Chains A and B, each alone.
Chain A
């Protein structure tokens, strides 16, 4: 078992404690913030689990663009309608979105 796995397991325990053991005893602002903290922990857990995919998709995007500053390349117009670039941007965005989505769905 790697230290990262231990870290993730600990985070899962903290998240479950907040969401299932503490939050049910709270009301109002305290309950809202506790559930928000649990939600943030779930995001971190997903981010750790998907770290390799996030990095690989970023590397693929930069490799296709031929630069580490993909944002500047796109703003310059050099990536206009580039289907390969769009596919790599989308792959990266989907992974990042999967990390964040449950939290964003809770936002009002």
Chain B
């Protein structure tokens, strides 16, 4: 971001936020084909304030909408009381920085899942952190359709569980992937669909690794790009699934705490009672979904779309997930067979 762009940004922020904003420094946080993140140090109302700019890079219209959608989701979550980076402004005027961008308050903390699980100096009291995450999830689930600002999410599925199974099968078919173990697990799921719960906003990637903590506790819930309308228990299943415990299988709530504390925080914040059977269903589907995503990542490499050894290796994770799924769904638990 050159001096001219910083000047334009300062003028735009001043007009949008209604107070003089001076940019003192801007540095690129991460890059990519479709997105840039910038840390922007400002002086606002006489005080220093750090902002994060999330910007589409030389965007197509569809990509531009994704940033706008993400901003809308975080704005709705913020209004609902969820601990997210404060959304400050969205600019769709390409003359400012060359493309649409969102402005959010910078949040400090550590987000890397394995580090959070292993480093007990992070996150503060772990029981309190686990309950707090349950509370945050309940606040997300308090957002119900319809929401005018979230019209881009479309019509909520009539039966989210069956819709999820259908989407996973379609994803496998699109890759021409024949995966008997995944089909076994989905067939079990199809025959053990829980009664439809309420439809709420679901984060759909609510897990250790997608929130940040500092030494005292939670600082932000991140990564909203998969959010949508669905069965709220899917988020609990995703959070508690063994595949997201980062080696701490004994700590069933995200590798950091107990289910009891997580549910306690969830229910105390109005999240409603949690059915263990429904959670188990969604834990099975969490493994299926992660396996399908891993295969898709592998295909990005093997198809030549994007050379990446990391993507290629991610595709190989599927084998372990399939093993876990078969362990979770032995013939003895096919109660309706």
**How many A-B contacts are there with CB distance less than 8 Å?**
94
The answer to whether the Cβ of B34 comes within 8 Å of any Cβ in the partner chain is: no
The answer to whether the Cβ of B309 comes within 8 Å of any Cβ in the partner chain is: yes
Q: How far is the CA of A89 from the CA of B309 in the complex (A)?
A: 28
Nearest chain B residue, comparing its CB with the CB of A99: B319
Q: How far is the CA of A39 from the CA of B313 in the complex (A)?
A: 9
Q: A93 and B191 in contact (CB under 8 A), knowing A36-B310, A104-B317? A: no
The answer to whether the Cβ of B312 comes within 8 Å of any Cβ in the partner chain is: yes
The answer to whether the Cβ of A59 comes within 8 Å of any Cβ in the partner chain is: no
Q: Please tell me if the beta carbons of A80 and B316 are within 8 angstroms of each other in the complex.
A: no
Q: Which residues of A line the B interface, CB within 8 A?
A: 33, 36-37, 39-40, 43, 61, 69-72, 74-75, 77, 79-83, 85-86, 89-90, 92-94, 96-97, 99-101, 103-105, 107-108
Question: In the assembled complex, which residues on chain A have CB atoms less than 8 Å from the CB atom of B316?
Answer: 43, 99-100, 103-104
The answer to whether the Cβ of B181 comes within 8 Å of any Cβ in the partner chain is: yes
Q: How far is the CA of A97 from the CA of B326 in the complex (A)?
A: 12
Q: How far is the CA of A51 from the CA of B246 in the complex (A)?
A: 29
Expressed in whole angstroms, the minimum distance between the Cβ of A32 and any Cβ of chain B is 9
Q: How far is the CA of A86 from the CA of B209 in the complex (A)?
A: 33
Query: Which of B187, B312, B318 gathers the greatest number of chain A CB atoms within 10 Å?
Result: B187
Q: Please tell me if the beta carbons of B331 and A97 are within 8 angstroms of each other in the complex.
A: no
Q: How far is the CA of A106 from the CA of B181 in the complex (A)?
A: 23
Question: In the assembled complex, which residues on chain B have CB atoms less than 8 Å from the CB atom of A85?
Answer: 184
Q: Please tell me if the beta carbons of A93 and B178 are within 8 angstroms of each other in the complex.
A: no
Q: How far is the CA of A75 from the CA of B312 in the complex (A)?
A: 27
Question: In the assembled complex, which residues on chain A have CB atoms less than 8 Å from the CB atom of B313?
Answer: 36, 39-40, 43, 103, 107
Q: How far is the CA of A10 from the CA of B120 in the complex (A)?
A: 42
Q: How far is the CA of A70 from the CA of B313 in the complex (A)?
A: 25
Nearest chain A residue, comparing its CB with the CB of B247: A105
Q: Please tell me if the beta carbons of B181 and A108 are within 8 angstroms of each other in the complex.
A: no
Q: How far is the CA of A77 from the CA of B313 in the complex (A)?
A: 32
Expressed in whole angstroms, the minimum distance between the Cβ of A39 and any Cβ of chain B is 7
Given known contacts A70-B183, A100-B317, what 9 new A-B pairs fall within 8 Å (CB)?
A: A40-B313, A71-B183, A72-B178, A80-B187, A80-B191, A85-B184, A92-B180, A92-B181, A103-B313
Q: Please tell me if the beta carbons of B326 and A96 are within 8 angstroms of each other in the complex.
A: no
- Return 12 A-B CB contacts under 8 Å, by A number: A72-B178, A75-B183, A79-B187, A80-B334, A82-B331, A89-B326, A90-B327, A93-B322, A93-B323, A94-B323, A100-B316, A104-B320
Q: Please tell me if the beta carbons of B113 and A89 are within 8 angstroms of each other in the complex.
A: no
Q: Please tell me if the beta carbons of B187 and A75 are within 8 angstroms of each other in the complex.
A: yes
